[in-house]
Structure 1
Amino acid sequence: MALENAAFTATLAAAAGDDPALLNELRGAFRESLAQQIDLLRRARCDGNWVIAAQRIKGLAASFHAEELLVLAQNAIDAAPGDPVALRGLEAFLAEFDDIDTR
């Protein structure tokens, strides 16, 4: 899966302007929030908790114009709690984000 991040990068750049420290802070906040919601999904044992965490990921994706993440979040919303395919997709996105972030 190739992280399609042109809109995401443009959104961050527009928000941070010419401030690289702010850009790094925004990327870190995005990553932290996404990781936290994925963890909540992993631990969800009922439909309500699963859907709330997936909707929060979808909101995060929409806020940052992360289209690929938006699709993954919708897939999780449509899935049953604990769906391994939905979790693997989100975890792969996060891993790829971390990989790009360290380049």
Structure 2
Amino acid sequence: MEPTAISFSRRDIWAGYHSDSGKKPFINLDACMELWMAVLSNGFDATISAAAGEDAALLAELRAVFIESLERQVDLLSRARCDGNWAVAAQRLKSLGASFNAPTLVALADLALDSAPGDPTVIRKLSQFAGEIPAS
């Protein structure tokens, strides 16, 4: 098996860096920045791809579960008329966005938390966001 960054433990990295040999491992900062920028630019896709690995069925299932949960919570939010139900649905949307690294969803959930229950603008933006996510 080829060693990867994932296969090294913190202890292995610490021991390699703090060895008495005087040789420090080379860290390719350009590659690290490219990886970091890829994660930042497309966090949702990168997160579910990393979780699924090369298993296409798992990737499709994770995406379907995300979309199903998003649609369910947007529906609950649209039917909420009291502050409590609205806040619970908005918090669930925020948690969903944070779990799947979807910062746009987190921002929309924050907007919902700051809005009055039943705000049609927030519901429309969340529905639009849900419609823009490809199913596969």
Structure 1 residue ranges without an equivalent (≥5): none
AA in 2 matched with 1:28: A
* Equivalent residue runs for 1:81-100 within 5 Å: 81-97=117-133, 100=134
Does residue 1:67 correspond to 2:94, yes or no? no
Larger Rg: 2
> What residue in structure 2 maps to residue 79 of structure 1?
115
CA contact (8 A) 1:44 1:82 kept: yes
What TM-score, normalized to structure 1?
0.90
Question: Structure 2: how far apart are the matches of 1:13 and 1:96?
Answer: 18
Runs in 1 of length 4+ with deviation above 6 angstroms?
Answer: none
Which one has a larger percent helix, Structure 1 or Structure 2?
1
Q: CA offset at residue 101 of structure 1?
A: 2.7
Question: Structure 2: how far apart are the matches of 1:85 and 1:32?
Answer: 21
Cα RMSD over matched residues?
A: 1.4
Question: Structure 1: how far apart are the matches of 2:48 and 2:89?
Answer: 23
Percent identity between the two aligned chains: 56
CA contact (8 A) 2:64 2:135 kept: no
What is the CA deviation profile of residues 31-84 of structure 1, one whole-angstrom value per residue up to 9, with x for unaligned ones? 000000000011101000000000000000000110111100100011010001
Does residue 1:27 correspond to 2:40, yes or no? no
Structure 2 residue ranges without an equivalent (≥5): 1-39
Q: 2:51 aligns with which of 15, 34, 44?
A: 15
Question: Structure 1: how far apart are the matches of 2:58 and 2:48?
Answer: 9
What TM-score, normalized to structure 2?
0.69
Question: Structure 2: how far apart are the matches of 1:11 and 1:89?
Answer: 23
Question: Structure 1: how far apart are the matches of 2:119 and 2:54?
Answer: 41
Residues 1:30 and 1:55: Cα distance change in structure 2 (over 3 Å): same
Question: Structure 1: how far apart are the matches of 2:64 and 2:101?
Answer: 16
- Number of matched residues? 97
